[in-house]
Amino acid sequence: MIPYSVGFKTRGEYASVADAFRQLRRNVINNGKNAFSMRHIANADSFPGVEIDRTMGWTRSMYLMARRLFQTQSLSSDAWVAPMRQEFLQQYIKLNKALLNKNRPQLLALTMKPYSDEVLALLEKNDALYRRWHFHREVTPTRILSLRAADGHFGKDMPPTGSRIGVQALVRFDTEQASRSLEIYDREGRALHTPAPTAAPQPPRLGKKLHTVPAVPKRVTEYLVLDKSFYAEEGRWRFRARLVPESGKTVAV
Region of poorest pLDDT, from 40-49, 56-65, 82-91, 184-193: 184-193
- Cβ burial, residue 120 (10 Å; 0-12/13-18/19+): middle
**217 CB neighbour count, 10 Å cutoff:** 20
What is the pLDDT, as a whole number, of residue 131?
A: 61
Average pLDDT, the chain: 83
User: Is the distance from CB of 203 to CB of 222 less than 8 angstroms?
Assistant: no
Say if residue 114 is preceded by a cis peptide, omega within 30 of 0.
yes
pLDDT band, residue 177 (cuts 50/70/90): very low
Please tell me which residue, 163 or 149, carries the higher pLDDT value.
149
pLDDT band, residue 67 (cuts 50/70/90): confident
Cα end-to-end span (Å), the chain: 13
d(CA 162, CA 44): 8
Nearest Cα neighbor of 92 from 222, 228, 243 is 222
User: Is the distance from CB of 6 to CB of 24 less than 8 angstroms?
Assistant: yes
Q: What is the pTM of this model?
A: 0.81
Buried b / exposed e along 157-185 (16+ C-beta atoms within 10 A): eebebebbbbbbbbbbbbbeeebbbbbeb
Residue 181 has pLDDT above 50, yes or no: no
Sorted by where each starts, the structural domains of the chain and their CATH numbers stand as 11-243 (3.10.450.240)
What is the pLDDT, as a whole number, of residue 209?
A: 54
d(CA 119, CA 92): 13
